[in-house]
Structure 1
Amino acid sequence: MKIGFIGTGNMGTILIESFIESNAADPSHITITNRTIEKALKLKERFSGIHVIEDQEKLVQDNEIIFICVKPLDIYPLLKKLTPHLRKDHILISITSPVQTDQIEHTVPCQTARVIPSITNRALAGVSLVTFGKSCSEAAKADIQTLFTHISKPVEISSGITRAASDIVSCGPAFMSYLVQRFIDAAVEETDITKEEAVIMSTEMLVGLGKLLETGHYTLPALQEKVCVKGGVTGEGLKALESGVQDMFNRVFQRTHDKYDEDISLVKKQFHV
């Protein structure tokens, strides 16, 4: 299956790298383009078999699966430009959360889906969020699932939970890494530990925690219970966390949803759907 990528920004590049390194796709079956073509050429320096092309229409014509990896407000004008070159058997995949599959289907004549990846997919891990358009055939759905199974656990979601799911899967690594960074900074400020020591210990702790959860031996609440000895140090630390966190994560979801609603409103004005 030939795959085309329009856009080689952060997430587009992560998908290309991950598909190749997981053997989900051979570099010779991938064609890429970018508004700044030099960025695409840098990827070709690393994966010589990749095809780089400046003509977006030709990319569409020569490939079966087309990934649209551009900013939300750039998608509608791009789709209008590409529509004359899209066939019914094409599979068009957007990776942008504010653009809904029904909006894309209203604009193009081909099969459509939305897949929201995560930076964790770069480690061939984590979740990718999948929403299939009504036009998507069972064969196309299977192709998408197979492709993303190589680099993640694909989870099909409804449009109604897109933002919450994306906050957890896609934004979550940034949120959690911020908290761990503050954890490290506080350790350095309050104790004699060096930053280098704290970073190494925290990193290995996170890796170990992930592996522990992966085994299924403990749930998150069970982990807290196992580590927390009555009257011990961990319990005192958890009290400080309870006092500080309060409704912090509620506010995180409120802020991200407010921004999402704003983006959706702007996208609707373009698609008229």
Structure 2
Amino acid sequence: MRIGLIGAGNMASALARGLGEPVVVSDVDRPRAEALAREVGGEVAESNAAAAAAVDAVVLAHKPAQLGAVADEIRDEAHALISILGGTPVAVVEQAYPNRPVYRFMPSIPVEVRQGVVCYVPGTRAGDGPEGEIRELFGRLGTLIELPEPLIDAGTAVMSCGPAFYALVVEALVDAGVAHGLAPDVAATMAVDTLAGTAAVLRERGNDTHDLRRRVTSPGGMTARGLAALERGGVRAAFEDAVAAVVGGGR
């Protein structure tokens, strides 16, 4: 299956790297499109319409506000539409592309190393197009989860915004370690590798966070004191507020 990208920003670039196949790229910033095409062994189209005509499915990775303008350019050329447009329901994309199969995906930056999570909402005509091939393609990028569309904003908060949240946690842990004498590079290695190892253990043990905390925490010990400090600092409330802000802002 040949894929085209309308847009070559951060998420589109992560997708292209994760797919590991040549893509056809179109972007208003031609040097950016050329750089991505060189990186993944793809090619740059002369226009959005040319990109759509050359591929089996087009990934809409432009700004959501450009939906109508881009649709006017490629509507007659596009065979199937893959939307990664934030805050844009399937029905809105289907209105812009009548009688075309539409597939909504919400990826996350880790898809570029095939360890991301991708949420999927099929359009009403999904079965009329290459849904199986598209699902297989996006399934390569990590964990593919089909969601009812009303839950897509909550899913986005956890899996698409999540990498930024985790990065902030790592940054804070590194800063705290440095404040107590660790070299910055040593603290960063410790924090990042511990995060990766913790994720691996959780995956092996059915995502049981309570069991992991129990195994690490001794009554009255160092971990218990640290966890108590985090609870006093409102870490749970902070994450609740962050997810609420994402979900509320997407409506």
Q: TM-score range by the shorter chain?
A: over 0.9
Gaps of 5+ in 2: none
* Separation in structure 2 between the aligned mates of residue 155 and residue 59 of structure 1, nearest angstrom: 28
Q: Cα distance, 1:5 vs. partner? A: 0.8
Is 1:34 the equivalent of 2:24? no
> Pick from 205, 211, 227: which aligns with 2:216?
227
> What is the aligned-residue RMSD (CA, Å)?
1.6
* Separation in structure 2 between the aligned mates of residue 195 and residue 227 of structure 1, nearest angstrom: 25
> Pick from 151, 168, 193: which aligns with 1:161?
151
Is 1:120 the equivalent of 2:110? yes
Counterpart code for 2:94: E
The two structures have a TM-score, normalised by structure 2, of 0.94
Q: Cα distance, 1:151 vs. partner? A: 1.4
Match runs of 1:132-143 below 5 Å: 132-137=122-127, 140-143=130-133
Cα deviation 1:92-144 (Å, max 9, x = unaligned): 01102311111111221310011111111112112101000001117622112
> Pick from 159, 175, 184: which aligns with 2:174?
184
- SS of residue paired to 2:134: helix
- SS of residue paired to 1:128: strand
Q: Cα distance, 1:155 vs. partner? A: 0.6
Structure 2 partner of 1:2: 2
Q: Cα distance, 1:43 vs. partner? A: 2.1
Q: State whether residues 48 and 73 of structure 2, in contact with CA within 8 Å, keep that contact through their aligned partners in structure 1.
A: no
Cα deviation 1:244-268 (Å, max 9, x = unaligned): 125212211222233212xxxxxxx
Q: State whether residues 117 and 145 of structure 2, in contact with CA within 8 Å, keep that contact through their aligned partners in structure 1.
A: yes
Q: Cα distance, 1:205 vs. partner? A: 0.7
Gaps of 5+ in 1: 262-273
Cα deviation 1:184-241 (Å, max 9, x = unaligned): 112222x122212211111111121121122226611111001111121111111101
Q: State whether residues 17 and 113 of structure 2, in contact with CA within 8 Å, keep that contact through their aligned partners in structure 1.
A: no
Structure 1 partner of 2:71: 79
Counterpart code for 1:76: G
* Matched residues, number: 249
Distance 1:51-1:217 versus aligned 2 partners, 3 A rule: closer
Match runs of 1:227-246 below 5 Å: 227-245=216-234, 246=236
Q: State whether residues 37 and 54 of structure 1, in contact with CA within 8 Å, keep that contact through their aligned partners in structure 2.
A: no
Q: Cα distance, 1:169 vs. partner? A: 0.6
Structure 2 partner of 1:131: 121
* Separation in structure 1 between the aligned mates of residue 241 and residue 202 of structure 2, nearest angstrom: 26
Structure 2 partner of 1:252: 242
Q: State whether residues 97 and 162 of structure 1, in contact with CA within 8 Å, keep that contact through their aligned partners in structure 2.
A: no
Q: Which runs of 4+ in 1 moved over 3 A?
A: none
Cα deviation 1:23-62 (Å, max 9, x = unaligned): xx3x2xx2111111111111233344x1211221122122
* Separation in structure 2 between the aligned mates of residue 242 and residue 168 of structure 1, nearest angstrom: 20
- SS of residue paired to 1:85: coil
Q: State whether residues 112 and 133 of structure 1, in contact with CA within 8 Å, keep that contact through their aligned partners in structure 2.
A: yes
* Separation in structure 2 between the aligned mates of residue 253 and residue 208 of structure 1, nearest angstrom: 25
Task: Identify the range of structure 1 (127-136 vs 206-215) with the bigger mean alpha-carbon deviation.
Answer: 206-215
Structure 2 partner of 1:91: 80
* Separation in structure 1 between the aligned mates of residue 6 and residue 206 of structure 2, nearest angstrom: 42
